[in-house]
Structure 1
Amino acid sequence: MNQKLKNQNGIAHPLVLVAVVGAVLIIGFVGYRVSQSGKTRSNQTSVAPQKKTKIKPIDSTVTEAKKTPKDEKSAIAGTFVQQNNVAWPAGQKEGYVGLNAGNAAASDVSKVEWYLVNTATSDLRHTADSSSVGNLFQYNWSLEGLPAGTYRWVVRVYDTNGKFSFALNNEGNPYLDQMITQVETLGTVAGTFVQQNDITWPRGQREIYIGLNAGNGMDVSKVEWYINSLEADALAHSVTRPAAGNLYQFNWNVQGLASGKYRVQVKVYDTNGNYQLVKNNNGNTYLDTNIVN
């Protein structure tokens, strides 16, 4: 060792000793940190990373299948009584659409709805909340005045939870087709509407009239006015005498009715109880009238 670093007795100078001890301590500390750092890295790589749950918008998890799941349908399996494509005999004035509620008791059925779907939209024609007999549910519908052709019925059978299923025909389809082939015995008295077809009444008019000329007053026993249908519950007015001469008239209160087109059909009965439907200026058996409220 350099003589300058030793004292007179040959012992290293105290400052030198302090520096040496400090260097040893620093080297030891650095070595310890490096060792611990290696252990930390080793521990981190041995732990499996946690899986993160992907968060989805609520709307993206709602599908059509989940909106209307199959198990939401009624467990009641209704079947139509008639065979599909049944044809009603000529001259029959009333048909019926009947169905059995399968093995379910009538008390398991909360209601049954009959829809006529001859047009683009379904027309609810009847609702029953009790059976006709046993577990038989039946709707009698008027065939009078209807043109020959096929009429399709769709029937919903509801359980007590408000869920429904469609009644099935003998072919397993959810509808019943019925055909009208009847030829009615026409009355001897023909009638014609006073108004032109597709007439539009002034806005806000409270009362309108539907008039027709028929017979000579002695040949007519009764005249009936129907709105939008020829079924019994659509009968709006009936008279047995003319207003004057051979003019028959129905003054119709239209207050509160929604604006739109209404189809009026009128039966003129002869003294034998047979009738004809009154014709418009185009030769059709109805009068379309437009109400603006």
Structure 2
Amino acid sequence: MKAYVFPGQGAQFTGMGLSLYENFPEAQKMFEKANQVLGFNITDIMFEGTAEQLKQTNVTQPAVFLHSVILNHVLGEDAKPEMVAGHSLGEFSALVANKTLEFEDALRLVSKRAEAMQKACELQPSTMAAVLGLEDELVEAVCAEIDGVVVAANYNCPGQLVISGEVKAIEAACEALKEKGAKRALVLPVGGAFHSPLMEPAREELAKAIEETKFNTPICPIYQNVSTFSVTNSDEIKENLIFQLTAPVKWTQSVQNMIKDGATSFTEIGPGKVLQGLVKKIDRSAVTNSPEL
């Protein structure tokens, strides 16, 4: 079975989407529509902007989403996936690919998500850190002993877990994790504690927008970050999407379940090849690739 996976924030690069815009009239129409929906020319920043401009949350999230969704669209019917998943933000791209969400509706939600997350980040100093070389259970146990908010946020692959929380709590956790033998416990250059309880204000804001958006019956299952299992019920998909902002991204578990359910290849749709690398670390025998246009 063909699995399509969609990357999240961090996969952006200057020039992203330009070849799609130049070579496919349908892609050009979708990019122009996106400029209208967002109220600014995101294409200018995607195609010619600096890395600094691309790092702004209100740009990054729609940019990665657009690259993924428009690339998936130009692949056409021949490339129809049999199961999908997305890493954090990538879940919105996956939901367009399996027809749960319409393109414009999803773009509006992604834009709202970015704004809400930015506001939540400004409420309290918070950050994230990558922890390498420890068992997930040990990282969870150390976080539970730290004063303040610090939780497991991204289960990326075995031996690679990202933690999220208050700045001081993250710093204390990093020191404690190094003492426990972590190869690395490195604070990341992000503006907030994504996928932690500190995103509750953003979750509430996004929940309202999600509730007001039409969700269709998908053409194939999605393996969501919150549940990790095959989901085809649109109400359940909506509920999982609402809780995604404050819950961890269980990528390792999602990929393991996709393989268990018959995934034979993983095609990464969007900028970069980060997810292909993670899938390989989760299961060395997995076949990974990028789409051919």
> Of the two structures, which has the highest relative contact order with CA contacts closer than 8 Å and spacing of 6 or more?
2
Considering the TM-score relative to the shorter chain, is it more than 0.5?
A: no
> For the pair shown, which has the larger CA radius of gyration, 1 or 2?
1
* TM-score, normalisation: structure 1: 0.22
The answer to which structure has the higher strand fraction is: 1
* TM-score, normalisation: structure 2: 0.22
The answer to which structure has the higher helix fraction is: 2
